[in-house]
Chains A and B, each alone.
Chain A
Amino acid sequence: MKKEDFYKNHDPLLLNALQNATVAIAGAGGLGSNCAVALARSGVGKLIICDFDRIIASNLNRQYYFADQIGLHKVEALKQTLNRINPFCEYEIHNVKLDDLLIQEIFEDADLIVEAFDAADQKQMLIETWAECFADIPIIIASGIGGFGNNETLKQKKSGKMFLIGDEVSDVTKGYLPLAPRVSVVANMQANLAIELLFDKFYKNNIKGRNRYVFAQ
């Protein structure tokens, strides 16, 4: 496969912005694995992916892994899959449990952070570290991805450079079990927003360049 064939259907203007970008993804579960696949297909130049878990059978109902990958570290398996999809991007993986110090070290060169943790306290730790060390780059948080149906409750909120996507209600520890459709919808909403923000950053909000992507009202 040739690189130019892979990117044949990509807009050169957008692809240029994405190829020059680095996105850090904190967590490689249902959100992180699906988001990483979408960003790799889109052509983001470099993905930094962190997780400490190994794949178990119950992950396969929503996470982008395969039965023959059970037992592998998630970041190793995801890197294999991403390279099978788009070998023309760089995938930097870290098999670690992130804490504030590791985040500062590993995410230093990122243009954007995708929060893809499972536990709410981990989400909070990442947000506090981001606010202290990376507040000048955007962070895209997911909150409320459990259950099924209820498409209309999924929304995006913005507060400065912090974005939150989800329903803000369905906590998996309160019985809203996560299933593939809703988790991957949110993961892909995160990826979709990431692409938009990277485009705007690269072209410094040049309206002329962006006009072609703005849909008629």
Chain B
Amino acid sequence: MFLLNNRPEEWSDNLSIKDLLERKNYKFKMLVIKINGKLIKKSEYLSAIIPPKAEVQVLHLMSGG
């Protein structure tokens, strides 16, 4: 298990951020993603592996300003 936006989520071995986004069907192109408080850059989504019991935060970035 790990926490996604404070809700429990099933953990699996070698789960990357990219895998997670596909699993959750997050379609927004621009996101702010943190694993245990550390910002994950867009270029790192494939290589960033979610450790067990991690706290993952996904925030959506909307255009407009």
Contact = CB atoms under 8 A, between A and B. Distances in A.
Given A124-B42, A127-B39, A171 B62 contact: yes
Contact of A144 (B34, B42, B62): B62
A159 B61 contact: no
A103 interface: no
A159 B34 contact: yes
Contact of B62 (A32, A128, A143): A143
B63 A171 contact: yes
Nearest to A166: B62
Contacts of B30: 120-121, 123-124
Nearest to B29: A120
Interface string A34-50: 00000000000000000
Determine which residue in B28, B32, B57, B62 has the highest number of CB atoms from chain A within 10 A of its CB, and name it.
Answer: B62
A197 to B, nearest CB: 18
Interface string B20-36: 00000000111110100
Given A159-B37, A159-B57, A127 B32 contact: yes
A172 B37 contact: no
A138 interface: no
Contact of A164 (B37, B59, B64, B65): B59
Query: Dominant SS at the B interface?
Result: loop
A145 B57 contact: no
Interface string A102-118: 00000000000000111
B65 A128 contact: no
A92 interface: no
Contacts of A170: 62, 64
B44 to A, nearest CB: 10
A97 interface: no
Interface residues of B, number: 18
Nearest to B38: A131
Nearest to B32: A127
Given A127-B39, A128-B39, A128-B41, A172 B63 contact: yes
A183 B64 CA distance: 9
A117 B65 contact: yes
A145 B59 contact: no
Contacts of B37: 159-160
A190 B39 CA distance: 21
Contacts of A27: 65
Interface string B38-49: 010110000000
A168 B32 CA distance: 11
Interface of B: 28-32, 34, 37, 39, 41-42, 57, 59-65
